[in-house]
Structure 1
């Protein structure tokens, strides 16, 4: 198992070191900050690259339904959401409801 520094991982991924650092900090790229330095396992970076490649490659396969394996492209929409236009109409109706004014005490001092 080979470990890489931040700079080596950036070269391996063909990214700027600050981009790699930010993505590792966010948990997007697998890595750990051991002490003051980031450490990456080469096998984990290979797996990360392969996972990115699969979805993007399949996204380019427009019209080839049988070859699409990326779950985000095969999702069926199942209701439950309201369109912005419907939400605006409901909000307008609620705002136009008349509120009865409070009765004031008619007694004077």
Structure 2
């Protein structure tokens, strides 16, 4: 399985590394602290990106999303959107 650090995830998402750290701290992207570095599964970072693309495209088109689609967050309501962890 492939992993990413904060810098690599920021490059993939085209955002600042602090934004990735915020997404980690809010529990939006699952990550583990290994030593001093955050490590994320590449599949989780790409799933977050895919969810954002689907959600934002639906919003632009005015199409309602099913309750299970887009905006996957963990920890807020006690659900885990990443069952393979």
Quote the residue 1:70 is aligned against. 65
Larger of the two Rg values belongs to structure: 1
When you count helix as a share of all residues, which structure comes out higher? 1
Distance in 1 (alpha carbons) for counterparts of 2:15 and 2:30: 15
Distance in 2 (alpha carbons) for counterparts of 1:23 and 1:42: 14
Where does structure 2 lack aligned partners over 5 or more consecutive residues? 68-85
Q: Under a length normalisation based on structure 2, what TM-score does the superposition of the two structures give? A: 0.69
Query: Which segments of structure 1 move beyond 6 Å, counting only runs of 4 or more?
Result: none
Alignment of 1:12-91 (within 5 A): 12-62=12-62, 68-71=63-66
Q: Under a length normalisation based on structure 1, what TM-score does the superposition of the two structures give? A: 0.55
Deviation sequence 1:52-109 (CA, Å, 0-9, x none): 11111001113xxxxx34147xxxxxxxxxxxxxxxxxxxxxxxxxxxxxxxxxxxxx
For the aligned residue pairs, the C-alpha RMSD in angstroms reads: 1.6
Distance in 1 (alpha carbons) for counterparts of 2:30 and 2:56: 19
| Count of matched residue positions in the alignment of Structure 1 and Structure 2 | 67
Where does structure 1 lack aligned partners over 5 or more consecutive residues? 63-67, 73-109
